[in-house]
Amino acid sequence: MKTTHVRIWKALATALVLFMLPFASASAFVDPPTFSPAQPYAGQSIDMSVRAGVCHGFAYSPDGHPLIEIQRNENIVDAIITGIAATDPIFCMIPIYVTTFNIGTLPEGSHIVRIRIRSISSPNYPVLPSISQASLVVRAPPPPAIVPAGTTISLLLLAGIITLVGICPAK
């Protein structure tokens, strides 16, 4: 009789665990991106590093979608990255890693860069809502360096020195 109670409790515990599994946290994450250079100038190429893993990851799609697609709408920059966003914790086995993408150049101003995933988990490859974002301020390009030009007097003095050296060579 005692064995029957133990079996019933084990069956109930197993059923409870299996029932709660879909509600368990999957620990999926995509950290906010970081940028290099951290404060770029307008027209300067920008690299974006993204740390992800567990249930979220990036990969090439089988039908030829690019790994990353950049879409801009005023100050919102959507980085649509082909990958996977798993929801079942059983299949969350993606190692944690950092990937760097080039997002091109941006105009001067404050921008919000959002990370979105083009999911290869579905046949039509839907673009999922933003899963991470960061602010990026792009500065005006620096003024061009001004090389001082010689004045007329300094040019005449330089010509005189060159002429004197040419007439009176060192012995």
Q: Which of 52-61, 127-136, 155-164 has the lowest mean pLDDT?
A: 155-164
Domain boundaries, the chain: 25-138
- What average pLDDT does the segment 117-135 reach? 89
Distance, CA of 84 to CA of 89 (rounded, Å): 13
Cβ atoms 115, 99 nearer than 8 A = no
Residue range 7-64, pLDDT digits in tens: 665 655 565 445 544 444 446 689 999 999 999 999 999 999 999 999 888 887 667 7
Coil, strand, or helix at residue 123? Answer: coil
How far, CA to CA in Å, does 50 sit from each of 11, 20, 161?
43, 31, 60
What is the reported pLDDT for 3?
64
For residue 156, how far is the Cα from the chain centroid?
56
Higher-scoring residue by pLDDT: 102, 59: 102
Q: What is the pLDDT of residue 168?
A: 65
Interatomic CA distance for residues 33 and 50, integer angstroms: 5
pTM of the model: 0.67
- Report whether 118 contacts 81 (CB < 8 A): yes
Measured in degrees and rounded to the nearest 5, phi and psi for residue 167 equal -80, -45
Q: For residue 8, give the 3-state DSSP assignment.
A: helix
pLDDT at 87 over 80: no
Which range, 21-25, 132-136, 143-147, has the best average confidence (pLDDT)?
132-136
